[in-house]
Amino acid sequence: MILLGLACSGEPVEPVPAVEPVADTRPVPTSPSIVLITIESTRADHLLQWGYARDTMSTVGVFSERGRRFDRAYSPAPWTLPSMASLFTGLRPSELGVVSAEHVVPDEASTLAEELSAVGYDTAFFGTNEFFDGHGLEQGFARYQNEVGASGLKTATAVRSYIDAREGTRPLFLAVHIFEPHCPYLAPKGLRGMHSEEPPGRMLTDVEWDAMGDCYRKDRDLGKTLAAYDEELMAADSVIDALWGAARPFRDDAIWIVTGDHGEAFWEHGDFGHGRQLDDEQIHVPLAVMGTGWHDVDERPVSTAWIAGSIREIAGLDPAGPTLGAPAAIVVSETSYDVERAVAISAEGRVLVDAETGVHVDGQVDEAAALAAIQVEARFTPQVRVVDEAVRARLRALGYAQ
């Protein structure tokens, strides 16, 4: 159809003037590009470099060997929304006000993408999780693509297309979230069944089987479920390898950060999946950083929320809190999924505060962990119930228990 520039009345229509593109007057930073890769439901103890028997994530292993491996990294929450909100801001979920599925990152919160964009970075996010829609996580990203249900390799293809089409010389802050190995555990055909011949594991009880729900039910043989989970980890690793290829124009000069958003439980402590408990299975995640000049293993407890401070520091900004290089004395992880809980982890031990069952101590209590427990306890003031008198005495000496 050819438009002749006439209105319905026959009056001539003024041509619409062409819109000149707005020049980007931001300075071009000299700091490097930063690639942040987060992987769903990835517990550290299912990776070879963190002590597992199978080499499930060889690419992550290479990153950890070429950079710094953090042996004791913990997510600030055992499920996606609060953990990612913390990672993008550096604030704990309760500080940010994002602790439940209906919560949204407030507009006034300062996110990494906003801060990096302001100093001249290009910013882009690619992912596939329903929590990345409608919760404010998109703040500051010039390109934001969340395709729920897409495979990791499809996401990597989208990333490659974006990188190939980029113009200019600005450094890039690229965040990619890989959905594998979230349930259901069904790896691509090339990996599916790779560990199916493993010896049988424990058979799940009827109560456990019924509690798991359709998404998590793979087999009553828990060994087969764990094998399928490991195959999904391998699938996620192949996506990371594809992202490494996609980032060829700048990859060798970039900072690469790879971690899990939270872990996954398989009935080790009376629970499965993630979100409800603060045992290591649900919050201890792999973390590797490559490109900073670090070449070692860090055994200090760190929070993945402190990645935000490290990225700010890389970009020449005020870290505004602890960093991976200068961690705080304690790590706090918390959840309000069904019962409000928080755990304070130090090098010596941990203090768990549970709104239903009180305070529980594991290991030697030091002052930093006890004080952190006091701070998180103030949110829901549980009753203190420590059965062991020696533990009670240590808490009393620190001014915690009465």
DSSP-assigned states of every residue in 50-85: GT-SS---HHHHHHHHHSEEETTEE-SSSSHHHHHH
Same domain, 309 and 390: no
Distance of CA 252 to the CA centre of its chain: 23
User: What residues pair up with 12 in beta bridges, in sequence order?
Assistant: 6
Give the CATH number of the domain where residue 121 resides: 3.40.720.10
Q: Which of 260, 291, 324 is the last residue of a domain?
A: 324
Is residue 51 situated within a structural domain? yes
> 316 and 395 in one domain?
no
Q: State the Cα–Cα distance between residues 102 and 100, nearest whole angstrom.
A: 6
The predicted pLDDT at position 7 comes to 40
- pTM metric for this prediction: 0.87
Q: How far is CA 335 from the centre of its chain?
A: 15
Same domain, 318 and 355: no
Domain that holds residue 95: 34-324
280 exposure class (CB count in 10 Å sphere: 0-12, 13-18, 19+): buried
Q: Is residue 229 part of a domain?
A: yes
Domain shared by 388 and 316, yes or no: no
pLDDT confidence of residue 260: 98
On whether both 174 and 212 belong to a single domain, the answer is: yes
In a domain, 16, yes or no: no
pLDDT by position in tens, the chain (length 402): 333 333 444 555 566 566 566 678 888 889 999 999 999 999 999 999 999 999 999 999 999 999 999 999 999 999 999 999 999 999 999 889 888 888 899 999 999 999 999 999 999 999 999 899 999 999 999 999 999 999 999 999 999 999 999 988 899 999 999 999 999 999 998 898 887 666 677 899 999 998 888 888 888 999 899 999 999 999 999 999 999 999 999 999 999 999 999 999 999 999 999 998 999 999 999 999 999 999 999 999 999 999 999 999 999 999 999 999 999 888 999 988 777 888 888 888 888 888 788 777 777 666 556 655 555 555 543 333 333 455 455 444 444 444
Q: How many domains does the chain have?
A: 2
Residue 9 lies in a domain: no
Q: Which of 363, 360, 359, 331 is nearest to 349 (CA)?
A: 363
Among residues 324, 348, 378, the one where a domain terminates is 324
pLDDT number for residue 321 = 93
Q: Are residues 264 and 376 in the same domain?
A: no
Check whether residue 346 and residue 208 sit in a common domain.
no
Q: Would 177 be classed as within a structural domain?
A: yes
Task: Among 276, 295, 324, identify where a domain stops.
Answer: 324
Please check whether residue 96 lies inside any domain of the structure.
Answer: yes
Give just the sign of the alpha carbon dihedral 71, 74, 79, 81.
negative
Q: Quick check: is 333 in a domain?
A: no
Question: 231 and 140: one domain?
Answer: yes
Is residue 320 domain-shared with residue 348, that is, in the same domain?
no
Q: Contact 170/119 with Cβ under 8 angstroms?
A: no
Q: Are residues 197 and 271 in the same domain?
A: yes
Same domain, residue pair 355 and 261: no
Do both 352 and 236 map to the same domain? no
User: What separation in angstroms does the CA of 336 have from each of 100, 102, 129, 193?
Assistant: 7, 12, 20, 36
Structural domain includes residue 272: yes
The pLDDT, as a whole number, for residue 21 is 63
